[in-house]
A and B are shown apart, each in its own frame.
Chain A
Amino acid sequence: MKKSWLSWFFAALSAVYLIPLLVLLINSFKTKEAITDQVFALPNQETFVGIKNFVRGVTSIRFFQSMGYSLMITVLSVALILLCTSMCAWFLERVGGRFCRGIYFFFVFSMAVPFQMVMFTLPFISDRLGLNSPWTIPLVYLGFGAGLAVFIFTGFIKGIPIEIEEAAMIDGCNPLSTFFRVVLPIMRPTYISVAILQAMWVWNDYLLPTLVLDKTKGYYTIPMAIQSATTDSYGSVDYGAFMALLTLAIIPIIVFYAVGQRHIIKGVISGAVKG
């Protein structure tokens, strides 16, 4: 009995917590004037504009193209990071020696380096090497994201008994087939965690793609497109269209969260080591 007031308290708090998203949703269906005058009001007959805001928003910045780029960059980057860094971590841990430990140290060191440190030099190098397109930027993400991924994979690999792999090798497996047939299946939960963690990073990242991607060719990710929607318009911002864009930007995240909530919380928390 005593606990029920606590339930009510948290129910109220949750409702308050959802206010920003609910306000966003209702305002994406209202006229510009209704947004700025009465932001908390529900749309009524005069202020309801249907999906006009969405249509205007989507066409003004080619939103779906940006979503395509965001999706492609995220999927390619995460796939590349998972495959390459897990193999790298396993190799460093199993081969050992001074050389491997030295490289591992560098990976861990890179986790402590903020992006600002390479913000001016990285675009120069990525331009030179042609890494400034949505098809090649995943290599940049592999390089900059390697530290954390290698660190998390290594932590898991240390706990795998080496005897299993030795048995596979004695049975005639080479290191490659040992990795893919024995190690990879054991590491499945870690793959899921790293995938979610990196996906959230790449999907939401703003500064790196802004500086690296060639914007003259129209390469915009969703955060870049949202930012450009406010800064490229001279005059005043079209709030109706802007609210619609923000709503559209959040929908994929909500869907993603609804599908894999338990994995997502676990995955995102596994990045708690990053300082």
Chain B
Amino acid sequence: MNKPTARWFPIFLLPTLIAFIIGFAIPFFMGIWLSFCEYATIEEPTFVGFSNYLRVFTADIGFWYSFGFTALFTLVSVVLINLAAFFVALGLTRGIRGTNLFRTVFFMPNLIGGIVLGYIWKMLINYGILIPLFGKDLSYSTAFGFWGLVAVVAWQQIGYMMIIYIAGLQSVPEELIEASRIDGAGRWQTLKNVTIPMVMPSITICTFLTLTNSFKLYDQNLALTDGKPGSTTEMLAMAIRNAYGTTPRAHGTAQAMAVIFFIIVATIALLQLWSTHRREVRQ
């Protein structure tokens, strides 16, 4: 331990630590405690054991529906975004004219916030597609909302994942591709047997990123569908906020949902850690 430096902790460590305790640690542990309580106001919680959790899993408050909707949405968007991003990245690593311009364009939507993005697409989908074709808008059917959400997140995230795939593809040694060509492998075989195994790290990163991004989606959901029709396009993050309601029981239940949500997200993060770690050991 570096003693002389350690004495300087009030200047170096304390500001961040205090903010972290206020902005993260206290709310986090309070949240866990309150998930076992019913409360009208946060000052006066009544301990009720696991009954909030029981209600989340058994009562008809829409948790399982939202979970299913979120899981399906996540599956579709992860596959779509990664496939599209990978093939765009393949095309944009062959030195064609305009490569930089194309990368710039594809990446840009990533910088726009979810709320603004959601409303741009709401206008486009409603007045550009659904109303002219079907005479209905997004709030008419769950399927409209589902595919609308997929379109928004795909537009937003393909460029981001593309950049990660490009970095991966550029690190594949040229000689390896050439060797495989000389050995008589076709373009598809080279891709399958040489390129894809070599960019596995990028594939892992992108898969987990899209997985958590889709699972935690809130802003785009709020702007594009706001859960409509009914609450059939309500994803988990939105379901938690809407479950909060006004009664002591609803407060506790919403907090219990938040804890479950956290456990799912943290599990995905742990899986990611484990899979990267395992690969490092193998190399």
CB-nearest residue of chain A to B270: A112
* Contact A124/B42 with A92-B13, A96-B1, A146-B16 known, Cβ cut-off 8 Å: yes
Instruction: Spot the interface stretch: B66-74, B75-83, B172-180, B256-264.
Output: B256-264
A222 to B112, CA, bound (A): 12
Tell me whether B24 and A175 are in contact (CB under 8 A): no
CB-nearest residue of chain A to B92: A10
Tell me whether A11 and B218 are in contact (CB under 8 A): no
Chain A residue contacts of B17, Cβ below 8 A: 88, 103
Instruction: Spot the interface stretch: A45-53, A59-67, A184-192, A238-246.
Output: A238-246
A131 to B91, CA, bound (A): 49
With an 8 Å Cβ cutoff, the count of chain B residues facing the other chain is 90
Chain B residue contacts of A120, Cβ below 8 A: 31, 34, 42, 244, 251, 254-255, 258
**Most A CB within 10 A of own CB, among B28, B119, B163, B223:** B119
Chain B residue contacts of A110, Cβ below 8 A: 20, 24, 28
A103 to B14, CA, bound (A): 11
Tell me whether B19 and A84 are in contact (CB under 8 A): yes
A6 to B96, CA, bound (A): 7
Instruction: Spot the interface stretch: B56-64, B138-146, B205-213.
Output: B205-213
CB-nearest residue of chain A to B95: A3
* Contact A272/B164 with A103-B17, A204-B114 known, Cβ cut-off 8 Å: yes
The answer to whether B54 has its CB under 8 Å from any CB of chain A is no
A275 to B215, CA, bound (A): 11
State how many angstroms separate the Cβ of B244 from the closest Cβ of chain A.
Answer: 7
- Prevailing SS type, chain B contact patch: helix
Other-chain contact of A139, B6, B22, B112, B160 (Cβ < 8 Å): B22
Q: Scoring A residues 176 to 211 as 1 if CB is less than 8 Å from chain B, else 0, what string do you get?
A: 100100000000000000000000100111110000
Q: Scoring A residues 112 to 129 as 1 if CB is less than 8 Å from chain B, else 0, what string do you get?
A: 111011111110111001
The answer to whether B135 has its CB under 8 Å from any CB of chain A is no
Query: 27 A-B contacts, Cβ less than 8 Å apart?
Result: A10-B88, A14-B102, A17-B105, A19-B124, A20-B155, A35-B123, A87-B15, A88-B15, A110-B24, A117-B261, A118-B31, A119-B241, A120-B244, A121-B26, A122-B23, A129-B22, A140-B22, A143-B21, A174-B8, A206-B113, A206-B115, A222-B116, A246-B119, A250-B116, A268-B160, A269-B160, A275-B212
